[in-house]
Amino acid sequence: MKKHTFIVILIFVLALSACGGQSELASNTEKWDAQGVTHYRFELTISCFCPFMDIMPVTVEVKDGQIVSLTDVNGQPLADNFRATFEEAATVEGLFAIAAENIANADKVDIVYDMQYGFPTSIIVDRIKLAVDDEISYYVEAFEVLP
């Protein structure tokens, strides 16, 4: 009987912690939406066991939800072979989608949200806690609203 009670409590605690991540995500999504920002720029760094470390941070410009430009650390347009990886996280909506997907499916996710605008400034993901080299992190810096 004690083992059964422990399992029920464990499931309840895990469900509550998942809900906490979802509710924090939802409130920050609402905060972002309320800002009405349609044109912005930021620097994006993706940290993983990836072949593109020397091109970061990538500068991203977005207008009306569409990527206007992706440029590498040297100001050059991002090469096509890396573009798809960065496009996934190159809008605030994309960052929220990455956060939501990992809250739902990864073993561990730590997210920091921008205090003013609500978008994720840091998403640190360990998809499988006991696996090696599956971690990925997304960092947003130098965010600015453009006219």
Q: Which residue has the higher pLDDT, 94 or 52?
A: 94
Neighbours of 41 (CB within 10 A): 16
How does residue 21 score in pLDDT terms, banded at 50, 70 and 90?
A: low
Tokens of residue 73, six digits:
């650390």
Closest to 106 (Cα-Cα) out of 21, 41, 8:
21
Query: Read out DSSP for 8-69?
Result: HHHHHHHHHHHHHHHHHHHHHHHHHHHHT--EEEEEEEEESS-TTGGGPSEEEEEETTEEEE
Q: What was the pLDDT predicted at 20?
A: 52
